[in-house]
Structure 1
Amino acid sequence: MTETRVDISHVRPEVIGQLTYSTYFIDELIHDVQHEAGELTIRHTSPKSEDDLRARISTLIERFTHAEFGFKEGILSEHRVTTPYSGNILAELLQQNIVKELEPGLFLFREPFVSLLQFFDESFVKKIGRHFGAQQEYYPAIIHGDTLDKTNHFTSFPEHIHFVTHLREDLDVIESFARDVRQAGGWAGHAPAIDQSHVMAQPRYTINPATCYHCYEGLQGEVLAGDGVVRTAVSKVHRYESKNHREFGRLLDFTMREVIFVGKPDFVKERRAKSIELLQQLVTEWELDCYIENANDPFFTNDFQVKASFQRNQEMKYELRMSVPYLDQTISVSSSNFHSTTFGNAFQIKAGKRPAVTGCMAFGLERWVFAFLAQYGLDEARWPQKLLAEFRTWRDGHVH
């Protein structure tokens, strides 16, 4: 194992996390990235030269530290409380077999994690979605590449994308593939030797990386009635994040509930503002230690500064971050987003005679459960009174 150390003392604190996250993507043989005391330490087995690796890291540093554009920060609201639990909740969940790690970023969940996830999901629909009369929709797990292209995901977050493919429709290919796997003693022995250009078809689909994309696809070419529509849906979404999947908050496969606003500017802006207000009321009632801050998406490409600073300066993205006491850090569990006419134009959705604007509030359900349990633990007697009462009422209604 080789160590490469890079001075990052000049890097702004607010982008060090993004730099560390992205460093894993410069070479697949990077095994660990740590930052401490103004220095980035990369442990790797890459055959690339030291100069080559440093040049790649310098490219990322320039991308995330270029200071031509402003980077507006700010806390929209805070709800800080002292919570009763500070143990290593992930270790406890694993020890009690409530959560089982199949591989980094891929988990199996059991009770009570599952009930809490379902309870949070239904609470968000009841307390936020229904306030706007949101209509439920149900989406596929995959999305066509042409549709994803319209969302600019290929150019903004290319590292996230999971492509879906299949064996080519060719009898010789299919039979030789099955024979080779059998002779290799199974998939594990054969997979590294697959000539994908020969065996696999050109991908047409990807696994969907965001719930709301299907909503805009479903409204494509429509002229909305009245001032706009509100939809809500929950779906599995997938984002590849390299070695970052070793963090529990970076799941390969996770569940996202969204409340989605599509319509005229005032219609969307007013509902977005109200949804944030409802979320603030909810975290207060449930006594959660958290805050809402101005934020930006983790754009990967070299126009990071342009896109991120625009989002922040226009306050197009807010994140609700809950504290995780045993890690002494916070984790984003929800986001509130305003996209202007980006998706209205891309999908030719009209509100009146003009392109519709869109916005959404998203909830990462596994993160919600993890952060809540990190603050209050598994002992229900220590849970906030109102949340516990609502959870028990919900649970009694779901006993089969």
Structure 2
Amino acid sequence: MATTFVELKVDNSEVLKQLVYAAFFVDENIQDIQAGDNGLTIVHADGADAEKITEQVHKLHRRFSNHEYAFKQEIYFENRVDVPYRGPIIQEMADQKIIKQLDPGVYIFREPFTTLVRFLDDSIVRKIANKFGAKHEYYPVVINGSTLNKTNHFTSFPEHIQFVTHLREDLSVIEAFSQAIKEAGGWNQDTRVDMNASAATPQYMINPATCYHCYEGMQDETLETEGTIVTAVSKCHRYEGGNHRDFGRLLDFTMREVIFVGKPDFVKENRLKSIEMLKGLVSEWELDCHLENANDPFFTSDYEVKASFQRQQEMKFEMRMSIPYLNTTISVSSSNFHSNTFGNAFNIKAGKRPAVTGCLAFGLERFILAFLAQYGLDESKWPAKFTSDYNEWKQTNER
């Protein structure tokens, strides 16, 4: 391994955070990135092009620094709690075999973590979604490329996309592939197979966001009322490179959403109600957290325009829970307003005009990881309301 120091002047912590995140996508040989006062120390394979890495990092720095005002942090709600636990929860759960890491960002979760995730999901449904009379839907884990294209995901978050493909429907290709695997002694990272010749052009991707299927399902429809509210939970996937080393940043994760589609006032009013419900939930469960303005991690050259617009128009808020032993926070829920972007893309009408959309989304595993980082595995130390809700739920659901 070798290191390259890229000298930079970054005064804004939000800009620095976005820069480190994006820098992992500069070169596939990058193994680690450490931010310092005067720049980034990048650890990479010996054969990597250090000059190219430096050039690309500076390019990202220029992109993210053009509109630093877009990264001004505004906190709209705080629930400060002196939590009892500050231990390394990931290591503790790994030692107790509650979780097992298979690859960066890929985990097996076992009891009691899995029960806590089920409890959280049911709590969101009962305490938030059902209060809106939300319709329950169930979605596939894959999404058609033409559908994903309508969401602008290819142009906004190309680094996240995971493609699903298969061997071409050609007997000679299938037999040649099978023979190559046999000769290699099985599939492994060193197996030399010409996938460009063997694989079909991808038609499907693994879905990166639950709500995309909701809009696809309403395509070319005209709503008969002011709007509709849907809830769904599904597995989602986002490739984030070296960032998967970060606490709670999973390659494969579960997202519960409450989705609002309709006329502007309907969506805006119900979005605000859902935020109040979220604030009530974290307060009664005594979670150390805050709600702040945010932007999506747009990766492309128009980053500053999109990020600035999101923040100025208050289109995205994040509920961030503290991770005491790391002295940081992670987003466990986000509230999003998309205006008529998806109404136009999928030709969804609310009256005579394109529908607007919004959603309240939860990363279930992240939420439970953050909760355990604050309160640990000892149930006697958990907040009273959380414990009573959890025990009542278990008595009803585990008979």
* Corresponding position of 2:355: 356
Compare 19-28 and 315-324 and name the one that shifted more.
19-28
| Cα deviation code 1:74-131 (max 9, x no counterpart) | 0010000101111111110000000011111100000000010010001001111011
- List per-residue Cα deviations over 1:247-281 (Å, max 9, x = no partner): 23211100000000000000000000000001111
Deviation at 1:210, TM superposition (A): 0.2
Structure 1 vs Structure 2 CA RMSD: 1.2
Alignment CA distance shift 1:207-1:381 (3 Å): same
| Aligned residues of 1:30 and 1:46 also touching (Cα < 8 A) | no
The corresponding residue for 1:142 is 142
**1:318 equivalent in structure 2:** 317
| Shift of residue 159, structure 1, vs aligned partner | 0.1
Distance 1:363 1:68, change over 3 A: closer
Question: Is the contact made by 2:165 and 2:203 (CA closer than 8 Å) also made in structure 1?
Answer: yes
- 1:72 deviates by 4.3
Does residue 37 (structure 1) correspond to residue 42 (structure 2)? The answer is: no
Q: Deviations over 1:195-248 (max 9, x none)?
A: 112100000110000000000000000000110000000000000011111223
Deviations 1:300-350 (A, max 9, x none): 111111000000000000000000101111010000000000000000000
**Amino acid in structure 1 at the alignment position of 2:282:** V
Classify 1:46/1:164 alpha carbon distance in 2 versus 1 (closer, same or farther; 3 Å). farther
Are 1:181 and 1:189, in contact at CA under 8 Å, matched by a contact in 2? Answer: no
Indicate the SS of the match to 1:297: coil
What are the residue-to-residue correspondences of 1:288-327 with 2, within 5 Å? 288-327=287-326
Please name the residue that 1:111 is paired with.
111
Which runs of 5 or more structure 1 residues have no equivalent in the other structure? none
Contact 2:10 2:16 in 1 (8 A): no
1:23 counterpart residue number:
23
Q: How does 1:158-177 map to 2 (within 5 A)?
A: 158-177=158-177
Alpha-carbon distance in 2 for matches of 1:37, 1:190: 39
C-alpha distance in 2 between matches for 1:70 and 1:28 = 29
- 1:187 match: secondary structure: coil
In the TM superposition, residue 69 of structure 1 has moved relative to its aligned partner by 6.3
Q: Please tell me whether the aligned partners of residues 208 and 238 of structure 1 are also in contact (alpha carbons under 8 angstroms).
A: yes
Q: Which residue of 1 aligns with 2:6?
A: 6
Question: How far has the Cα of 1:33 moved from its partner?
Answer: 0.6
Does the residue aligned with 1:361 lie in a helix, a strand or coil? strand
Deviation at 1:7, TM superposition (A): 1.9
CA contact (8 A) 2:12 2:68 kept: no
Q: Distance in 2 between matches of 1:126 and 1:200?
A: 44
> Residues of 2 paired with 1:76 and 1:260: CA distance?
22
The AA in structure 2 aligned to 1:149 is N
Paired letter, 2:208: P
Pick closer, same or farther for the CA change 1:369–1:10 going to 2, 3 Å.
Answer: closer
Relative to structure 1, the CA distance from residue 346 to residue 115 in structure 2 (aligned partners, 3 Å threshold; closer, same or farther) is same
Report which stretch shifted further, 389-398 or 336-345.
Answer: 389-398
Contact 1:71 1:313 in 2 (8 A): no
State the 1:51 CA deviation.
2.6
Give the distance between the partners of 1:127 and 1:315, measured in 2 at CA.
25
- Give 1:67 shift: 2.7
Partner of 1:76: 76
Conserved 8 A contact 1:3-1:41? yes
Length, aligned pairs only = 399
Deviation at 1:50, TM superposition (A): 3.2
Tell me the equivalent position of 2:248: 249
Q: Identify which range, 174-183 or 84-93, moves more after superposition.
A: 174-183
CA distance in 1, matches of 2:122, 2:346: 29
Residue 340 of structure 2 corresponds to residue 341 of structure 1: yes
- Residue 12 (structure 1) shift: 2.1
Contact 1:72 1:313 in 2 (8 A): no
Q: How far, CA to CA, are the matches of 1:308 and 1:211 in structure 2?
A: 21
Moved more, 12-21 or 291-300: 12-21
Q: Does 1:276 align with 2:283?
A: no
Residue matched to 2:394 = 395
Q: How does 1:199-218 map to 2 (within 5 A)?
A: 199-218=198-217
How far, CA to CA, are the matches of 2:21 and 2:117 in structure 1?
27
Partner of 1:386: 385
Cα offset, 1:11, TM superposition: 4.6
Residues of 2 paired with 1:189 and 1:45: CA distance? 17
Q: Check conservation: 2:15, 2:71, Cα contact below 8 A.
A: no
Does residue 152 (structure 1) correspond to residue 148 (structure 2)? The answer is no
Q: What TM-score do the two structures reach when normalised by structure 1?
A: 0.98
Contact 2:29 2:48 (C-alpha < 8 Å) held by counterparts: no
Partner of 1:365: 364
Give yes or no for contact 2:323–2:330 (8 Å, CA) kept in 1: yes
Please state whether the residue corresponding to 1:201 is helix, strand or coil.
coil
Matched to 2:376, the amino acid is G
Q: Is the 8 A contact 1:27 1:46 kept in 2?
A: no
Deviation at 1:399, TM superposition (A): 1.6
CA contact 1:73–1:312 (8 Å) conserved in 2: no
Letter of the structure 1 residue corresponding to residue 368 of structure 2: V
